[in-house]
Amino acid sequence: MDDLKRQFNRIGMRYTAQRSLVHQLFLGSPCGLTIPEAVSALKDRRVGETTIYRTVRALQEIGRLCWVHDHKGEHRYVACGSRHSHPIVCTVCGKVAECRTCELSVLEKLLGLETGYTVEGHHLEFYGKCADCSRLPAQETQ
C-alpha cells in the first residue's frame, strides 16, 4: 500500500480512501469495468464520477490499470501489475489475464527505421478463450 501512496505522490495526487475504493473495485473485477459500471458500483459508497475518472487516469499513469475493448467495442479498465503489460480478453466469459513480457522492442526499432518515426509505444489487443472456456465443448452457433 505504501508503494501506491508513493506512486500517487509522484504524480501529484494523494491515495485517499475514496481512490483506494476505486482501486479495490478494479482489483476485484476480473473482467474489468467500464467507467459507467464503476460509477454505478460505487454510487452507494459516495464516490463521485469525477473522482472515478481522475483515479482511473492516475492508475493508468502509474501502470496499475490498463484497458481493453469488450465485445461491444467499449473500453473496459482492468487492474494490472506493471506499467507495460499485454492483456488478453476471453471472448466467451470476458475474463482478462495479462502477460508482463513484451518482446516488441525489435519490431519498434524496425518500424522506426522503415518509417522514420520515433516510436513511443504500442497498444496491442489479444483475444481468445481462457483456460476454463477452452475446456467447454464448443457452443452451437445460433
Q: Does 93 bind Zn ion (CB under 5 A)?
A: yes
Query: Would you say 43 or 69 has its CB closer to Zn ion?
Result: 69
Q: State which residue, 23 or 86, has the beta carbon closest to Zn ion.
A: 86
Rounded Cα distance, 111 and 100, in Å: 22
* Per-residue interface string for the shown chain with Zn ion, residues 123-142, x marking contact by CB under 5 A: -------x--x---------
List the one residue from 35, 104, 111, 119 that touches Zn ion (CB under 5 A): 104
The reply on whether position 111 binds Zn ion by CB under 5 A is no
Cβ proximity to Zn ion: between 13 and 133 the closer is: 133
Q: How far apart are CA 129 and CA 134, in angstroms?
A: 6
The three-class DSSP label of residue 56 is helix
Number of residues that bind Zn ion (CB under 5 A): 8
Look up residue 14 and give its three cell numbers: 494523494
Report in angstroms how near the CB of residue 91 gets to Zn ion at its nearest.
8
Separation of alpha carbons 68 and 74, rounded Å = 8
CB atoms within 10 A of CB 138: 6
DSSP secondary-structure letter at 94? -
66 beta partners:
78
**Taking the complex as a whole, how short is the minimal distance between the CB of residue 103 and Zn ion, in angstroms?**
8
- Contact between 102 and Zn ion by CB under 5 A: the answer reads yes
Least Cα distance to 125 among 105, 96, 101, 103 occurs for 96
Determine, following the binding rule CB under 5 A, whether residue 89 of this chain makes contact with Zn ion.
no
Residues that bind Zn ion (CB under 5 A): 90, 92-93, 95, 102, 104, 130, 133
